[in-house]
Structures are given as structure tokens and as C-alpha cells.
A and B are shown apart, each in its own frame.
Chain A
């Protein structure tokens, strides 16, 4: 088929005009009959699986619940939430641009955080400059305390990598002095931000508690060949196996340990263990596996949240970042209600005061009052440390035998 050159030019001209028109006019701010909430999140790219687990379902469920109840209570008015969402395609530059668009073009009232340490750090200075609060729900950084000083209204909800490693080391130390485990630990970590940060902190903390690291290596993100690692570790006689892994590695290592019947007394795996899919995949073999995070499912608020999450998203929330994210959304809602206005500074001031009633109890964004160490017990991922926290469960010890491997 031939297209005449005139038609071609006309089409191009029309397309270009439309393009520029849409690009430049964009969405204009509207009158304040809605509270506009914006977010840019990784719907595609390497960050998408994590964002889809810990962040997106919570944002969507919160907006739906608030709007079903008539909206946010601001003074004596009920104001529904309107959402403006973008895909940052897991790229820092896209995230930066999307946040600029939310602030300057869409003129949203509040911006929810993107997924992951890198993207949260990329957008933090922009949010700070524009006076928006930043509830960074999925960033783990040892610089967290400095970051909240640097950007006054930023809250680093998951804290530092060291805190998880330190809590684990303290917990293991207790088991060691009770004579339950020997002083040998085999540790591996994924060669990615999270794994490196936690293994660094873990190395220091474990050595401080006189543990001997009989194995201390990293594996590349996306590595398929984990059988060699597990085989090597199996012969080292360590009672404790610690993997600061990411979901693919967490599943792969568990699978290999099960196949090779490597069953240390403490089997600690990283991100992904607390995901519902872990239980789905390993069934009864999940029993006794230790990881970071945890939930007090005996707590009616947590149990109710999990039930609503299943009803809304068709799957369970993970037992770590999801819970913290939800508590931050509850805090935001109460901050707006307490401020009694949609004024950003007033809401920011309320957020800084804290004292919100959330699924984590009385909460101020940035509080680390959630479980640092948890364990699968009877199909539930429960919190076991810090042992001083309410509802701390006793550790199932030693880890039961793998059933699938027999």
C-alpha cells in the first residue's frame, strides 16, 4: 500500500502537535474537592516484583478503604482521595522526573514513596526541597539516621541494615551461651546492596560475639548454581546457616538445602522468606525457618490487616515491609485528621509528633518497633526477637527435619 507523501506529512504534523500539546498542557491542578495523592512506583523493571509485594497492594488498598469510608476526615468535611500514579520503570532518572511531574504539574497534596533503597534516595532531595514529607517505606540504609537529619521530613521506616544483623547476632549469642549451638556460622550474602550491607554488619556483630565464620562469601544476583555453595557449607560443621539473600536466592537455597538434606539447627534465609509464596512453595518444610521481619498474628489488628489484605489483593502481605508500610499509611491518615486541614506544613508537623494508633501499636514513622527476627511456626511467620517485645514467641529449636527431602 502506498501512502501519499501529503498524508504522511499531515499525519506527522497532527501527531507532533498532539504530542507537544499533551506534553505541555498535561494535567492541571484541580479545585480542592479531593485530596490528591501521587506516587511513582516500579511497575516494570527489576524493582517490579518487590513493589508488587510490599508497596502497591497497600497503597491501593488504603486508598480504596479510605474512599469507601467517604474519604479523609479534614475538619468537619470528608474529602475523597484522588490518585495520580506513574511507572518509574525501576530507573532513578525516571523516578526523579516523575516526582518533579507530581510536584510541579499535577500539584499533588502528598507523595507516597517509591520502592527500594536506590529510588528512595534519588527522590529524597526533591521531596525535601519542595516541602513534602517522605515516608520511605522500603529503604534499608546504614545512613538512615544521617538521612533523616539531612532531610528533615524524611522517615526511613525500615531502619539500618546493621540493626537486623545485630539483633540476629545477639539472639544467636544467647543460644550459644545456653549451649544449644556451636560457635560456627556459615554466612552467605547476595552481591547486591542489601546483602552486602547486612553481611558487613553481620560479620562485625558475629565476630564481636565470638562466633567463627567458617564460610563467608557472596553469590551474584541471579545466580542459578547454589548447589555447590550448599554442598560446601554442609561439610563445615556449622550449627548456624545465615543467608542474607534476595527472593530468588532465598527460594533457591532453601530448595537446595532440602534436596541435599542440609539441615542446620538454625536456618536463616533473607528477603522472601517472610513472603507468603515461601509457604506456598515449601509447605510444611517452611516450619522452623528463620528470617528478618515477623508479625504477631495473635494481635487482632495484625490478623485483621492480613485478612483484609487477602480479600483485597487475593494474596497475603509479606510480614516485613508491608506491615511497616501499612502503619505509615495509617499514620498519614491520622496526621491529616489531626491537622484538620490539607495544609502540607501542618500535616508534616503532625507526622513528626508521632503517637499514631497503628497495627504496630503506638507508632511514629521511623520507629523500629517491629520484629527484627521471625520464624515460620505452624504456617505463620511469627516474631521471635527482640525478645523484649510483646508477643515474642519462643524459638522452635532445633529446626525440624526437611520433610520434602525424604
Chain B
């Protein structure tokens, strides 16, 4: 590969992305607040699913801890929101997410496969109980109020910026030594060790990176709810939704998760609006139909019929094994 093609390979998508994001930034002046709330939903899930896939795609560690970081972010805003200016609160949230992810990462990323899944699921309950215990016994107030004058449009722009940063990070990562190391770990951890990769450190680094984005999403979303308590902030449904969306899209490509987020968010919207009494049943039926018609995820469809045979993106194609796992 010579320098010129590498450059154009790098610059073109970045410019294209910048144009798309610049255009999306004008959305609030075009649509009413209902569509804005839909756009916020899509953008926040896009961040969560992409951040999830950033770690779980290459390493194949299925994490159910998304909501832990999301909730920590929301709580940071609830605790500090009225004391510090919002940008400082966001920095604190990112720090809180980093510390927690480091703790969790170093203690658990040696676990493999199903043990990791179960641990991350248990972590949600653990953090929720710890926060509850603290609020009940120390502050003696279970709910917290968030009275911040942050409009829906502000939230949208913040999320959009975060998504742009995340995609850029993922894009650079895919071309970096760290990303390469990750893919080797995902293929075979023993081989990676023999190549001289510090397996644990690489995994923890990526886990932290992914967690920071999840934490920031929670922090940005929190002012929308006015009131949070541990049950609202640490709702395990969110973790599952993120996994389903990322898997539907295709977790091993940078843009894959977003392809899952958009149809599924619209689907949730249609089901909620039209079948208020049968939401869960309709959702189950739809998932069965999706799995039946789309075993390879949305991106699998693209690769099969529309895209180039060889993946141009170094994250590699999604495997059928992943979808059925």
C-alpha cells in the first residue's frame, strides 16, 4: 500500500462524515420536537451500540454492563449538576466512568466467555444496590432532582458531537496498532500473547474507551428526566436493547451498529404508537421475523448483495457464528 492511497482512504470518509454531521446539526430547525425526541433516541442508541461494538465486536466479549456506565453518567449529573458548570460535570462523568471501567476491567477481563457475560449482568445489580444503599443510609433521599435548563436541541447537539467523536475514534482505532492487536486477540488470544501483545492491557484500554462514551451518553441524557432514582438510572433493559441493536446491525464494522439502531428504534416507535397493549408480543414476533429473514445482520445483507466481496474496512466481516451466539 503506498502513501497516496492510504491518504485518500483516510481523508475521503472523514470529509464525507463531516459533511453528513454538519447537515444533521441543522435538524432542529427543520422538524418539531416529536421528531427531535426520535432523533435523540436514535443518536443516543447509536452512540451506545457503537461504543459497545467497539469493545465487544473485535474481542467478542458480550458485555451487559452498558447501563452501569450510562447510569453512572446520569448520577454524576444529578449529584454535581447544580454545583458545577455542565462541561465540568461532563468531565467528571467521564472520569467516574474511567475509574469504574478500570476497576471492572482489571478485575474481570481475565474471565472468558459466558463468565464475563454473567459478571457484567451482575454488575448492574451490584452498582444499583450500592447506590441505593448509599442513598438510603447516607443521604436519606432516594430520588434526585435534576433542574437544569438544557433544552432538547442542546441534548441533540451534544449527542451528535459525541457520536462524531466516537466514529472518528473508531475509524482511527481501526487503522491503529491497538485496533490490530485487538483483532488478533479476538481471533486467538494465545496467538496474540505469543506475538508479544499485552492482552489484558489492550482489552482494558478498549473497555475503558468504550465505557467513557457510554458514561457521557448517560450524563447528556439525564437532564431530560428531571428526576432519577436507582431503578430509573440502572434499568437492565437498556443493556439488552443495545446488544440486540448492535447484533442486528453487525458489530464488527464501524457503521454496523448504527444500521441496527435506526430500524429498531423506528420499530419500537411504531409498535409503541400502534400497539400500546401488545408491545411485548409484537416485539417478540418481529425479532423472530428478523432472525429468520436476516441471519447475517443488516451489514451482512449489504456485503452479500451490494458491497465489495472483500471488506474494505479492517475490522473484518461479521461472522454468522456471532449472530447465532
Interface residues of A (CB under 8 A from B): 3, 5, 8-9, 11-12, 15-16, 19-20, 22-23, 26-27, 43-44, 46, 85-87, 89, 91-94, 96-98, 100-101, 103-105, 117-118, 121-122, 124-125, 141, 143, 150, 191-193, 196-197, 200, 218, 220
Interface residues in B236-292 (C-beta closer than 8 Å to A)? 237, 263, 266-267, 269-270, 272-274, 276-277, 279-280, 289
Q: Please name 8 pairs of A and B residues whose Cβ atoms are closer than 8 Å in the assembled complex, sorted by A.
A: A22-B274, A43-B277, A105-B34, A150-B147, A196-B141, A196-B142, A200-B140, A218-B137
- B: number of interface residues (CB 8 Å): 49
**Interface contacts beyond A89-B272, A125-B226: sample of 16 additional A-B pairs, CB < 8 Å, sorted by A:** A5-B305, A8-B293, A9-B301, A19-B266, A22-B274, A23-B273, A87-B277, A87-B279, A96-B37, A97-B37, A100-B33, A101-B37, A121-B225, A141-B143, A193-B142, A200-B141
A86 touches B266 (CB 8 A): no
Interface residues of B (CB under 8 A from A): 32-38, 41, 129, 132-133, 135-137, 140-143, 145, 147, 221, 224-229, 231-232, 235, 237, 263, 266-267, 269-270, 272-274, 276-277, 279-280, 289, 293-294, 301, 304-305
Q: Which residue of B140, B142, B224, B276 contacts A96 across the interface (Cβ within 8 Å)? A: B224
A104 touches B276 (CB 8 A): no
A124 touches B273 (CB 8 A): no
A191 touches B227 (CB 8 A): no
Known: A12-B294, A19-B270. A103 touches B33 (CB 8 A): yes
Q: Which residue of B34, B221, B231, B280 contacts A101 across the interface (Cβ within 8 Å)? A: B34
What is the bound-complex CA distance between A140 and B134, given in angstroms? 21
B280 touches A122 (CB 8 A): no
What is the bound-complex CA distance between A348 and B18, given in angstroms? 46
Q: How far is the CB of B18 from chain A (nearest CB, A)?
A: 26
What is the bound-complex CA distance between A192 and B136, given in angstroms? 8
Q: Which residue of B36, B37, B133, B263 contacts A16 across the interface (Cβ within 8 Å)? A: B263
A96 touches B225 (CB 8 A): yes
What is the bound-complex CA distance between A220 and B41, given in angstroms? 32
Residues of B within 8 A of A141 (CB): 143
What is the bound-complex CA distance between A117 and B144, given in angstroms? 11
The residue of chain B having its C-beta at the shortest distance from the C-beta of A143 within the complex is: B145
What is the bound-complex CA distance between A197 and B140, given in angstroms? 8
A122 touches B226 (CB 8 A): yes
B276 touches A43 (CB 8 A): yes
Residues of A within 8 A of B231 (CB): 46, 118, 192
A3 touches B224 (CB 8 A): no
Q: How far is the CB of A37 from chain B (nearest CB, A)?
A: 14
Residues of B within 8 A of A89 (CB): 272, 279
Residues of A within 8 A of B33 (CB): 100, 103-104
Q: Which residue of A5, A97, A125 contacts B41 across the interface (Cβ within 8 Å)? A: A97
A93 touches B225 (CB 8 A): yes
A121 touches B277 (CB 8 A): no
What is the bound-complex CA distance between A43 and B276, given in angstroms? 8
Residues of B within 8 A of A44 (CB): 279-280
What is the bound-complex CA distance between A15 and B279, given in angstroms? 18
A91 touches B226 (CB 8 A): no
B274 touches A118 (CB 8 A): no
Residues of B within 8 A of A46 (CB): 231
B232 touches A92 (CB 8 A): yes
What is the bound-complex CA distance between A175 and B154, given in angstroms? 56
Q: How far is the CB of B313 from chain A (nearest CB, A)?
A: 23
What is the bound-complex CA distance between A266 and B180, given in angstroms? 70
